[in-house]
Structure 1
Amino acid sequence: MKDVTVQPGEVFIATAPQRARTLLGSCVAVTLWHPLRRIGAMSHFLLPRRATPRGAELDGRYGDEALDWMVRELSRRGVVPRECEAKLFGGGSMFPRHAGPMSADIGRNNGEAARLLLAERGIAIVSEDLFGVGHRQIVFDLSDGSVWSRRAPVSKGAR
């Protein structure tokens, strides 16, 4: 089985037998998997959307564009995105000691945006591991659609 590491801002689309891996903090990974076709996609986005107008090409650093990219590529392969199962991961607080009423909660914003973006496209979320403190290692197995999430706490220096 081939393992592929999905870096921040990347989108990965493949069929079995492959696994996609990523490491998340406040970023969010969305996995889409079609159980009959055994094809799936994973994104690793940093922010919900661009602050500036969208460019000509989709940019995987932004949740809305990453999901558009995934939907487009799955559709090109004959997959109806609404038939996919979605799973969400990440959105962790990496510096909880510095959190306060005026601080932006990037992780929470990313997770809530992912939920909304999937709902807008009619794609059902079947599982999620969002928010909390620390980072997560994610492994997405395209053979059966399973996703493993292992959480690690924030180091003492960040608290």
Structure 2
Amino acid sequence: MTHVLHPGDVVCVARGERVETLLGSCIAVVLTDARRSVAAVCHLVHAGDGATAAHGAVAFETMDALLSARGFDSRFCEAFVYGGGNMFPALARGDGHVGLSNARWTLGELAGRGTPVLARDVGGEGYRRLAWTVGPEAPEVVQIHG
């Protein structure tokens, strides 16, 4: 089964299931157990607090709850982090764009939780396409220049 995530979506998937999403300034976080038997994945739009899973804090709470419902404790998970691109480089140069703000918040949240980040591909310009079939391999990420 393939799950296509849109902005604000959060899913929990088992080994053999596939997750796909397209990222601009948004961030995808994959939280998975060390054996890669299950993963919670979010497509967060905004760093920090908010009312929906489009906001980082709610997305993390939702991933924690989904993992817990399957008998996994997110405190023992590992992470992959992708996205945070500068979608308007002519308007926002350097460190002043929302994508980088999203990436910094996400990486800070994971560090605060003590969650190891196994791989990250954040910042830059353009889109990223993320695809992963839950299992031993790392997620596939392709940068698409717009």
TM-score (norm 2): 0.92
What residue in structure 2 maps to residue 118 of structure 1? 110
**What are the superposed Cα offsets for residues 7-59 of structure 1, whole Å, 9 maximum, x if unpaired?**
10000101021110000000000001113360001100110124xxx55xxx2
SS at match of 1:97: coil
Matched, 1:3 2:23: no
Unaligned runs of 5+ in 1: 155-159
Aligned sequence identity (%): 30
Whole-angstrom CA distance in 1 between matches of 2:142 and 2:96: 25
Highest CA radius of gyration, 1 or 2?
1
Matched, 1:33 2:32: yes
SS at match of 1:98: coil
Check whether the contact 1:7–1:22 (CA below 8 A) recurs between aligned residues: yes
What residue in structure 2 maps to residue 157 of structure 1? none
SS at match of 1:60: coil
**What are the superposed Cα offsets for residues 59-102 of structure 1, whole Å, 9 maximum, x if unpaired?**
2100111011101211221112122110000000011111248x
Check whether the contact 2:36–2:136 (CA below 8 A) recurs between aligned residues: no
Whole-angstrom CA distance in 2 between matches of 1:105 and 1:79: 35
Count of residues in Structure 1 that have an aligned counterpart in Structure 2: 146
Check whether the contact 1:33–1:145 (CA below 8 A) recurs between aligned residues: no
Match of 1:62 among 12, 32, 55: 55
Check whether the contact 2:6–2:21 (CA below 8 A) recurs between aligned residues: yes
Matched, 1:127 2:125: no
TM-score (norm 1): 0.85
What residue in structure 1 maps to residue 67 of structure 2? 74
- Structural RMSD (CA): 1.7
What residue in structure 1 maps to residue 76 of structure 2? 83
Runs of 4+ in 1 over 6 A off after TM superposition: none
